[in-house]
Each structure stands twice: as C-alpha cells, then as structure tokens.
Structure 1
C-alpha cells in the first residue's frame, strides 16, 4: 500500500472513530460554483398552503432560469438524486416541506464570534460598547481574522437556508474602512450563493462632543465608505449620541445621505424601555416625509427605511400604535425585532421586581395582526458582548417567538415564518420581481428555497425545525446539511462491533499485561 493510501486509510479510520465516539456527526456542504441557469425539478414536496387539503398533498416544483416555471401535483414516483449538489437537476423531497429561502434582514458581519475577546463583568449595554470598542482596535490590522469570521457566518447561514442578508459593517475612526474592505471581498466570494447586501453602519457617535453642531470624523468615514458602488444601505445608531438633539441630527444626516446616494436607510433606534425617553421613530417619519423620494413614480422600486430594535415602542398604547400606523402611511418602513439581543440587554433595572425584566422586544405576530405593519425578525449579533447566545439560524427565532409572544395559532405561525422570509426580504428593499408572492411557490416566483427534510408541516418548521436542510438559490442547489445518526443501544452487540474500528475493540490492557487475561479467565 502506498503512503498516500495509508494516509487516506488512517484519515478514514479517524473519522469513523470520531463518529463512533460522538454518536452523531453533522455534515454540511456549501457549493461555490459559477451557477448556470439550469432546470431543477423538485418532486414529492409539501408546500405551505393555507388550505390543509392542499398542504397535505405532494407537489412537483419545476424551476427554469432561476424562476418557478410550474407547480403541479406529484405522481408519487421516486427520483434518484445525482451525487454532486451543484449537478442535481432532480430532487426527491420524500414528503419534506419546501419554504421560501430564509433571510437575515439585520446581521453584523464584522463583530461576530468575538465573545472570547470581550471580558464582560456586568453584561450591560454600556460595557458591551466598551469591550467591543477595544476588540475592534485589532480589526484594522487583521484582515484575515475579519474574513475568517465573516466567511463562517455566511457559510453557516447558507447551510441553514439563508440566500440573502443585510450585513452591517462598521466604519469609524477605530476600524477605518477595514471592515468594509473585508465585507466587499466576502460579498464577491459568495455572490453566486448569497445576496450579501452591505450596509455601512456608524455604531459610534457621529458627533464627538455634546456641544458640537457639526459631525466629526466618524461621519467623514461614513461618507467616504458610500463612495463604493457596491454599498447598498447606510445606517446608524442615533441613541449613542451625547444628547437627544444630536440624535435627531444623526437621523437627518443619515436620511440625507441615503437620498443623495440612492441607498436604503437603516436605523438602530429607540433601544430602551424608558417611558421618559422620547421615541425617535417620529423623527424618522417626519424627516423621511420632508426629504421624500422613497418610492419611484412607477411604484416598482423604492429606497426602504428599516428600523431595528425599537424596544421603546413596546410601551405604546393601542392609540399610539394606531397613530404610528397612520403616520407611516405609504412610507416603505419595516420594523425589525431582534429578540435575542433585545431580551438579553433590556429591562435589567427590573431584575429585583417580582416578575423580573419584561418581554422587551417587538411582539411580531401581535403587531402584524392588529396594526398590519411590516415587521420582520432577525438574528442581529452572534457570539459577542451584545448577544452572547444563539446561532445564525433564523428559524431559531421562530421557536423563541412561540413562547415569547405566546403565539402558536395557525395565523401566528405563518406570521413568524414570514418574518424571517418574505418580510425580511422586503426589509432589504428587494424588487417585487425578486420577492415570492406567498409562503408556497407560484409561477414566476424566484426559485430560492429551503427544503426542510423530515419536516412535513409549517407547524413543525416553526415549533421544531429539522437540522437537515437543502438550500436552493436561482433554481440551483447550493448547500446541503445532513446529520449522520448512530445510537449504540438500538443495535445488536455484533453490529456495534462492526461499526467500531479494530483498535477500539481490542482490549489493550490484556495485550500489554498478559497476567490480567489469566486473572480474568480464572475468576470467570
């Protein structure tokens, strides 16, 4: 046997050993290829119809040139899949559920996976800002680190079923344009598998001092970043400004920049639950109406305004919510709840109260149902001081939302799924032709899907979503995530011996110390 073959055998043995020891091994593949405009046929798939009779049927979805060409009832025949993900032209879904692909409407690409660098003692927002600012000092000098962490976030997101995201990248006097430079590289690397929409974001104040009437260096970096034609959105966090007047000026500056450059505007806004603090959402609406030009004359395209967090709105009365709905009117404003971050950060002053901190995040199903406002959910941060917990999977937010919002009715289930698919894509300002019409595919829809293997109903997808998924973008399979399962107690002793490699089965103590073998023979 050649040394290369011996090495391959040893690697295979090591892999089998790990599989046996852990009991289950997760596999995920993301395909990076120049995607052709091909035909894909998905057989025996269930669709998220409102009508239960239709939802129980098996369907065939035919995709051509990146769009849904035809949807028809399946005949129940099996289709043998081709071996390589990017070469698949037929998929037998075996009764699994097909959903629109998932979307991150608000996620931070540059400061993910840095929790180990943030030494937190209290865990509050002020401390998170400080420790993150210290960690950011290294970003400018370590592009490889930015790329590695960003690549991981995008890959894991695609494996979950995400095909589009608004990626916030910070530009300021601490990091310069280093985060933007890395994001542009990642955007190009994943252009065939994920629409990475870059939003340059000012996490730090635009004004240096409370007495300043003109913005400082952070604003200059923001304007410089907007010169890149691949940037699609501009945003800020007005609540970090030294005072309320400067926070309002921050809003005006961002909206004017968006209007001047033709970009979407994205605010981290009203991140508090203090009844004495003025909600700045009214200022956004006033200034947006004053500036104008958000919707094109033909109504086919628009520059959107996204408002993330907005936890202060949780204190609104029904009359105030109705007033907000009327004030928004035709403005393309989408609210984005960020429950992982909101619940972790807000309400710490109520720790000693009988019920503890309140549910300080936007009630997605309630707001959508009662006030018919556009509201999405998103992951926001992953493993940093602002959000130490959670994964990149948008469906994990739906699981949390069921308990958090006490929402498990069929209507609320659909709203939760829409919040991480259709409504999140709307928050990105995607053109109507790039948006599906509903949770089930129709002719002419973009062929962007996630197949939830071993999941048959929309309820299951929200309440207990499967790990195994296939991600499709433009009618091409781009990722597959599968789990290999093995449980010793479900097999005979002989079968277990076949699974374990020989070096796991040998009693090394007997071979090294023969008297032990004699002792065992005598006592038996």
Structure 2
C-alpha cells in the first residue's frame, strides 16, 4: 500500500477502522489490516472524513477588502465597489490573490472547489482566464469547477451574452447566473438554461439575495428546471429572501425545490454580514431557512462565498469555521441537528457538484482529512486541527500539533 491509516474513527460509536490507500484509491477498509505500506498514519481514534467541498466561492475577487471599503455593508454598495475595482485588476494581481486563497483552502482540508469566475465588457476575461490557469496548476492539490459568472448581469451589460458562450467554449464547467441583478430576470434565467443545454453543463445561480420576498424568481427556476429535464443539475446560492417567507407560502416552494432536486448553498459569512442592514430593530438573521429546507428534502449545503472583500470583510478559508457559524445562527445545535451539519460541507455539496466517487468507500478516490477530534458528532464544534490532508492518495498537508500545559 502507499498509505495505511490505522485506527481511524469513521462513524460515531463504531469500531475503529484501518484505511488502506493504493494508486490514489481506497483499496481496503477494515479492522487491523495486515499490509505493508510506504507511509503509516497512526490515527489513534481520530476522526477521518472525506475532503471538504467548497461549493460556492469567488477566488478572483478575494483579498481586496483594503482597497475600497464597503462602508454601508449593503449588497448594493458591495456590487458598486467591486464594479469600480474590477477594471483595475491585472492578471498577475488576480493570480496572486487567488493562489493565496486556494492555499488557505488546501491547508484547511478542502479538496474540491466550485468557483465563480467573472467577466464583463469592462474587464474582459482577465479574471476568468487567471482562474482557468489555476485550475490546471493546482489540480494535484484540489479539484476545481469553474462557473462562467456574469456578476454585472447579461442584458444590463451589452456584450456579456456573447461572452457567456465564449467562456463555455473556453472550458467553463458550469453556467452561472444572477437573476436579481439583471432585467428582465426571467429572460436571464431562460438564457442560462439555453446555454447550459447547448453545452451539456450544470447551472449555478446566485438567487434571491435580499431581505424580502418581493420579486423572487425561485419558483420560476423550479418550474424551468423540471420543464427542461434539469433535475439534480441546478444549484442556488444565498436564497436569503426565503427566510422572510411565511410557513404557509414557504412549504410549496420547498416542495418544488425538492421535486426539482435543486441544491441550496447557504453562505452564512456573507449573508449574516449583509442581511438586515435596513432593519432598525429586531434585526433579522438574513439566512435562508436551512432547517426547513433540510427537513423538506432539499440538498442543503454550506459554503464560503467571499473572503475579505466588499461582500465579506473576513474569512480564513476554513469551511469548518463557516459551518460553525451556521450552527447558532440557523439553530443547528440541537441533538438531532448537529449531526446534519458535517454533511453540509462534505456529502451534500458532493451531490450538488456531481462528484461521483466521493466518500470513504473502497474503490473511491482517496480524498481524506484526519481531524484532531475523536467525535464525529462534534467534528464541527470542536474546530479541530486538520492533522493530515490526503488528495488523490497523496499526503498534501501535515500539521504537527504540540500543546504544553504548565501546571
């Protein structure tokens, strides 16, 4: 074997298991595997999980919070500030910032990314081309899906429609959209589906990112997804307006999402920061209703969105911290709720991104993280150190932790 992980905890309360890795794949799982290995990792009861999946992030505009601040903290100003900055981004600048962000993610145990890469007539394809280069450069450390993303809208920014097709021809993996920042919104959605069907690619919308439900297009997307036979191939990010929908109206929307097999990416770091900015008292949390969506059969995921820019002025690339943020703010700390959070950064986004050989099973690609905790249930709330990160059967990160308590 190439790697033998001994006495790892895969499930709460279950017997510890050895995991053997050969040629990038999980070759065996069992109790006390008797095999030689080039590298032996003594887990000693620590929790072993599949690599974390960052299902929604913007690498091309990370780490720019110090350049032009968003003083109001609103979405409107964030879009305006970023639109002013984008024409000043050089390819070298984007490569530098995006690389530093990718490496944050890698050391924190992320093995897969879906990143939205922006383009529009004012900045051209500078950011998109840089991200496509990094996808290839870092493929031994992290798998990257690139979304062709029209942040400034399609019809609002003449020339963007043609660029959408050009981005797909250049190798984009996913067709992106942002109906709430374009007009007419339904035609925007129709065009995104048209492009996706032409290239046989999945769809990822920034969706209904606001405090109130007026003007939502989520029901139209559910109908369109089913009509176009796109069940299981559509993801929606933010969807914060759903948090302001009364239960009686919310339930049929959730039923529609479940029927269309649409995945929802909650982005708590951004949504909590920007939501409720006009509330003078009893300030709302500004999150999509995670528990109701989960309980209604919707594939519920948690992701980062932005790191240190006008949309989110903080972040370290640690998905565990982001999931921890969701626990108190979305009421996910109950005994029955807590075990559902880890899947929101592992198996659930794997389903959303269409990753076929994900998980700790024989024959699957060995993308694994050994956590410094002995409880699967507490794998998020312990905020554990990532002791080892294994990508495609190779150790990519090792963290040695030394703690000395003087008494």
What is the match of residue 239 of structure 2?
310
Whether 1:236 and 2:186 are equivalent positions in the alignment is no
1:479 offset after TM fit, Å?
1.6
Q: TM-score, normalised by structure 1?
A: 0.73
2:267 aligns with 338
Q: 2:322 & 2:354 partners in 1: Cα distance?
A: 22
Question: What's the offset of the Cα at 1:416?
Answer: 0.8
Find the aligned partners of 1:361 and 1:425 in 2 and give their Cα distance: 22
Deviates more, 1:246-255 or 1:315-324: 315-324
Query: Which of 259, 262, 271 is 2:209 aligned to?
Result: 271
2:312 corresponds to which of 387, 407, 420: 387
User: Helix, strand or coil: the match of 1:460?
Assistant: coil
How many residue pairs get aligned? The number is: 407
1:119 aligns with 2:69: yes
Alpha-carbon separation, structure 1, partners of 2:268 and 2:274? 10
Task: Report what 1:200 is aligned to.
Answer: 148
Q: 1:288 to 1:325 in 2, by over 3 A?
A: same
Distance, in Å, in 2 between the alignment partners of 1:93 and 1:237 is 44
Matches within 5 A, 1:152-171: 152-171=100-119
Unmatched 5+ residue regions in structure 1?
1-37, 83-87, 209-214, 296-301, 492-524
Once residues 260 and 70 of structure 2 are traced to their aligned partners in structure 1, the CA distance between those partners, rounded to angstroms, is 40
Contact map agreement 2:242 2:289 (CA 8 A) in 1:
no
Mapped to 2, the partners of 1:446 and 1:468 lie a distance apart of 19
Distance in 2 between the 1:233 and 1:414 partners? 30
Q: Which residue of 1 aligns with 2:226?
A: 289
CA deviations on 1:208-227 (whole Å, 9 max, x unpaired) are: 3xxxxxx7212222221111
Aligned with residue 471 of structure 1, among 389, 392, 405: 389
* Rounded Cα–Cα distance in structure 1 between residues aligned with 2:51 and 2:19: 15
2:284 paired residue number: 358
Residues 320/63 of structure 1: CA separation in 2 closer, same or farther (3 Å cut): farther
- Structure 1 partner of 2:165: 223
* Bigger shift: residues 257-266 or 319-328: 319-328
Residues in 2 aligned to 1:264 and 1:466: alpha-carbon distance in whole angstroms: 33
Q: Deviations over 1:31-72 (max 9, x none)?
A: xxxxxxx632100211134xx2x1xx3321112333322222
Mark the CA change 1:328 to 1:119 in structure 2 (over 3 Å): closer, same or farther. Answer: closer
Closer/same/farther in 2, CA of residues 367 and 220 from structure 1, 3 Å limit: same
Does 2:388 correspond to 1:451? no
TM-score (norm 2): 0.93
Distance 2:254 2:69 in 1: 42
Cα distance change of structure 1 residues 329 and 372 upon mapping to structure 2, 3 Å threshold? closer
Classify 1:315/1:443 alpha carbon distance in 2 versus 1 (closer, same or farther; 3 Å).
Answer: same
1:251 counterpart = 2:189: yes
Counterpart contact for 1:48–1:99, Cα < 8 Å: no
What is the alpha-carbon distance in structure 1 between the residues aligned to residue 347 and residue 286 of structure 2? 24
Secondary structure of the residue aligned to 2:73 is coil
Structure 1 segments of 4+ aligned residues over 6 angstroms from their partners: none
Measured on the aligned residues, the alpha-carbon RMSD in Å equals 2.3
| Residues 255 and 296, structure 2, Cα contact 8 Å, conserved in 1 | no
Answer yes or no: is the 8 Å Cα contact 1:109–1:167 preserved in 2: yes
Contact 1:104-1:164 within 8 A present in 2 as well: yes
Aligned to 1:513: none
* Deviation of 1:442 (Å): 3.1
Higher helix share: 1
Is 108-117 or 397-406 further displaced after alignment? 397-406
Mean CA deviation greater in 165-174 or 476-485: 476-485
Pick closer, same or farther for the CA change 1:69–1:365 going to 2, 3 Å. Answer: farther
Residues 112/472 of structure 1: CA separation in 2 closer, same or farther (3 Å cut): same
Alpha-carbon distance in 2 for matches of 1:484, 1:138:
44
Distance (Å, rounded) in 2 between the aligned partners of 1:195 and 1:459: 27
Shift of 1:484: 5.0
Q: Is the 8 A contact 1:467 1:482 kept in 2?
A: no
> Structure 1: how far apart are the matches of 2:60 and 2:257?
32
- Which runs of no fewer than 5 residues in structure 2 stay unpaired? none
1:396 aligned partner: 321
Which residue of structure 2 aligns with residue 69 of structure 1? 27
Query: Which structure is larger by alpha-carbon Rg, 1 or 2?
Result: 1
Q: CA deviation at 1:334?
A: 0.4
1:29-40 to 2 correspondences below 5 Å: 39-40=2-3
Taking the aligned partners of 2:85 and 2:211, their CA distance within structure 1 comes to 28
